Structure 1
Amino acid sequence: MMTDNIIWLDFNDAPEQRDELVSDTDVLRVGVLDRLEAVLHYLFPQGRIRGGKFYVGDVDGNAGKSLVVELDGPRRGLWKDFSTDEGGDVIDLWARSQGRSARHDFPRLAAEIRQWLGIVSHSHSHSQSVVRQPARTNAVDELGPYTAKWDYLTPDGQLIACVYRYDPPSGKEYRPWDVRARMWRAPDPRPLYNLPAVSKAKQVILVEGEKCADALIAAGIVATTAMNGAKAPIDKTDWLPLAGKSVVIWPDRDAPGWDYAENAARACVAAGCASVVILVPPTTKPEKWDAADAVAEGFDCATMIAQGERRVVKAAAPSLPTFTLGALLDDDSPLPPDLISPRVLTPGGMLVFGGAPKVGKSDFLLSWLAHMAAGATFLDMRPPRPLRVFYLQAEVQYHYLRERVKDVRLPSHRLLEARDNFVATSQLHMVLDDAGLAQIIPAIANAFRGLPPDIIAIDPIRNLFDGGDAGGENDNGAMLFFLSQRVERIRQEVNPDAGVVLAHHTKKLGKKQFEEDPFQALAGAGSLRGYYSSGMVLYRPDESRSTRQLIFELRNGPGIPLKHVDKIHGEWREVDSSERLVMQEYGQRLDAERRRKCDVILQILFDEAANGRCYTANQFAEAFEGKAGLGGERTIRDRLSALATQGYIKYFRNASDYGLPPARTKFGYLCVEGMVLRSVIGEPDPNTGELPTREVAVLPTHFKCLQSGAALPVENPEVWVYQDDINDSQEPA
């Protein structure tokens, strides 16, 4: 409204800014989810798609499998990093990949996503709505609504052009839109498709048309195409983004497709590609069969790209990675974390575990691997987290394998992780030749619901050995063939970063010879020692004693001192190498006395509860000081602490449920397995004088953590898992 040259502005119809922001966020989220696979390959070129999920190492884009993005169903776009236990939606993932916060940096983040998607912001569209001309001309409008659209972007994600597909009655047609010129035409020069991912890839698959490129991209393969496919004018296309890359051209199975491949191959060579090959489509496929058809029918595209018939247009020059002293000195990037520290097994490393027959290799290996699967320390060897372990064993039948597994002593609070993280085979009757690998590789790849294994263990080498035509396991040439062509093939097919553990026997050597170089006792030692990154040998120096030596050899870290180990009460432990062996009889008497005192404590707690009395640790130590041969108050407290650490004593904090006063301690009242609390519930019987009582089973609510010493809630109060029988190092004499 305007009167007397005064302009009155009515803001009542102005859009509510918060609603506009929410709407804009929804538009961005829908746009990103619609092109989720392309977005993920743009953000994380080293990621892979497997089984409806996208895998990458972390939010920084490192190679690996810890971060998983859902691609299917209602959870599409949700992600979780299992190494850090972080997660969120795809907008948050985009922000984290750029080192930003989706909450605090949203305006900048939204602008970046809009630019990548080719979406004009609301404020920009409002301000130019008066002067903007219709995007389409009459000629294009006559084709009807477009049925498909592909965006061409610069390597940094800026929109260059869009290609629209129309399907009028006269047949399919394509129309390019030059974003910068804002005209219905192809840009000059014409860009390649999917440049953000192409710019970061070493190998690129060149196909015929955007539909084929999108099909391969969705399968986790970096693909591109020239605008207009087989009809693309080669001389008007910018091929320079492919310079220095290995290009594999996948033509449609027809004459125009092969002509396109030949012309594109010459252009790629002229652009300076490192190598150029043209795949030959299988002759069994129908006319016009292409990459999109291959993906739709579940064809093994990766194998065809890697091993399929091809015509080499330009071979790759052999490249040898070299590093100057300056580059090595200036590289301060962190070392990859150990799979098993300290440097016992590193990512992509190989550990050979040897020992003579009947020394206990398989029993030791089973216990060690189960602890790694549980994320628990074993003889000072520590995993960074619960590891996924595939145990390929060829000695023990199923029933005896499960018997051994039930004897492994794992911390109760770690058992849940180990149940799924440890996968084993029963006794195998095969060798690792081509036929054996065809069975083994899929079994390992599918063992952990699509996640890759961290450790692949083979026990023993002898039963699965295939040295080709070179000979047996004692032959260095045959051993090298087995390691490079069999074991490495398993690792490369399943997870190149997995650690490999090989159980192997040692030859008979004299004691002096063994002490001088124990690893020379490994059969095929020449090839093994030149190939592995670490070694362990289990050796019994005295056949009359059960104590064994555990000897280490590390290629990538400082030496680990020899350990003396023994299996005591079902658990492998490190023992004193001198005093306990020399004074074995005296030590046995001490063990018996310690065991007696611990049994006395457990029995007292049980009997006292039957008489209606429960104790905290301090109350028990004060009440029974100098009684039953238990020693002083401090000694009793130390024994109670050791028994709690071992799982023989737990705690209950719900004192009121049993009619007890609150315990003035962070742990609570002491509790043992099967304990029953008897309490008086009324007046004496007038006839007999007997007091009426009630018996209630006492169940623990907390236990003492073996690692931290903290009081943690029990998972199942009905189940008692003893972590330690009698640990000499924790108990007082």
Structure 2
Amino acid sequence: MRTPSLASAPSGPASPSQIAPGNLVWLDFNDAPDQHALPEQDTEALRRGLLDRLEAALEYLFPAGKIRGRQFFIGDVQGTPGKSLVVTLDGEHRGLWKDFATDEGGDAIDLWAAARGLSAKRDFPQLAEEIGRWLGQPEQPRSKPDRKRTEPHLDDLGPWTAKWDYRDADGQLIACVYRFDPPAGKEYRPWDVRARLWRAPNPRPLYNLPAVTRAREVVLVEGEKAADALVREGIVATTAMNGARAPVDKTDWSPLAAKDVLIWPDRDPPGWDYAENAARACVQAGCASVAILVPPADKPEKWDAADAVTEGFDVKAFIAQGERRIIKAPTPRLSTFSLGQLLDDDSPLPEDLIAPRVLTPGGLLVFGGAPKVGKSDFLLSWLAHMAAGSDFLGLRPSRPLRVFYLQAEVQYHYLRERVKAVRLPASRLNQARENLVATPHLKMVLDDEGVQRVIPAIEAAWPKAGADIIAIDPIRNLFDGGDAGGENDNAAMLFFLSQRVERLRDAVNPDAGIILVHHTRKLGKRQFEEDPFQALAGAGSLRGYYSTGMLLFRPDESRTTRQLIFELRNGPALPSMHVDKVGDEWLEVQASERLVMQDYGERLDAERRRKRDVILELLFDEAAEGRVYTANQFAEAFEGKA
């Protein structure tokens, strides 16, 4: 319908002569918007439709937006990237939005209007038509319904051939990955369950999260098929969505925090690249340990965990013992045992390295003595006998032991002079020749560099077997306490023992016994009688660390006889013995022989006998008179009369 309208018509009735063709403006109302308001139920239907497909609508309106948790973020209604405008995605406030930069806000219809530059009130008919058209479009083209497959798939790729569900730690479905096999080759497509869009969630979850959350050790593989293959073998496995093509920075690795992660890559360059990138992400996520398995060299290209299971490969043994590259070493865990475990364990005890319980596997013995008491000479003879498999002063080796003698006191020529003076049984000498390896006078500190120098020297001595005993003589010359201080500082001593000595042992043989030679300080007679091991110089932490203590003590400086004293933590106490070097051979001497100032001691013994006789005579006389005393009364009454 076309209706003429007067342009600038004067007031009052117009005469025919005033209505000229040039004064007419024709308006066409056939294309005007419907001026009737939508019924209330239609408006509510639009709102419900938008809320049902809210994530898809936001993706349509604001491609640069991001979903974080339960909110959608965008910079403004124009779609600028940013975080000022926030849309709530969950709960009773779903669809409500607010732009914190402009203080604007409203519901889902208001947001659509603002994004289109329209007014939800003035332009509502146009707005309703646009939203209605969009709501009437399918989310994705669909093929004919499949009764067994109700999930969406893509027409151009054909029906999906495999599907993997990604669930959160509570088992709620959050995403699916579909495999398609079109003529051009296999394709994978992720489906975001919450957004109802063909895309990966942001951030991307790991696979098999319910099991991963409960596990301590997790195997990370490349692809869901490989993960499922290991799961069927009873192994907790996971993968990043998209396998080797997974964007590491868009994957949520946090569920692996505090876990031991072993990465099993496919045997190809992309697989190794994936493993290295994932390993770095795992370290940043706070994993307890991270390592990458090295696929066997005899396996074909692209060989993976699924192939291993199919061919009957021992995957559990490979995971436990296979070659690996350590990215982050695990922190040693604290071992604990219940009373029941200890009572029920009837396995045989490990054989002593040196019996009886003087040096046990993994034990540490501290051998102390004053300067010039003969520690090094005694130790060299002792070690030579252990290397020969021969008893020494009642100390018995379990077999000929491999002994590495790290000494920093005696130069080469004088060391060989001492060695030639050691008396060994002729039948044992050949074994000792190879089993005892010593260093000349070292001029080094057992710091990081020093440990790295010693390790290859021990490994070169026994390439296959490793050392049974590592002797360090003396502590003082090789001591490194890091930044903590000297050997008198407890923290420095613990640092030396744990970060230097233990590291050295762990590198060559964790079951090796350690012998540390240390000097003693002077103690008063009474202190020494109460506890001779107080004489060990330096920090008290040394004594708390060792499993066996040995002291070589000279009671009388005018005599050559020494006393050998033991303190055992792993066995019953051993009696002390008196030893001396007689004709280049250390021998046990009679323990009953008086060692200190014999003449003076004999005079003291005679005086004690005389006093005893006087006291007995006094007691006899007083008893004859009928007088009775307690010990204190007798001492007070007859003090000084003996």
Which bracket does the TM-score occupy, shorter chain normalised?
A: 0.3 to 0.5
Q: Which structure's CA Rg is the greater one? A: 2
Query: TM (normalized to structure 1)?
Result: 0.42
Query: TM (normalized to structure 2)?
Result: 0.47
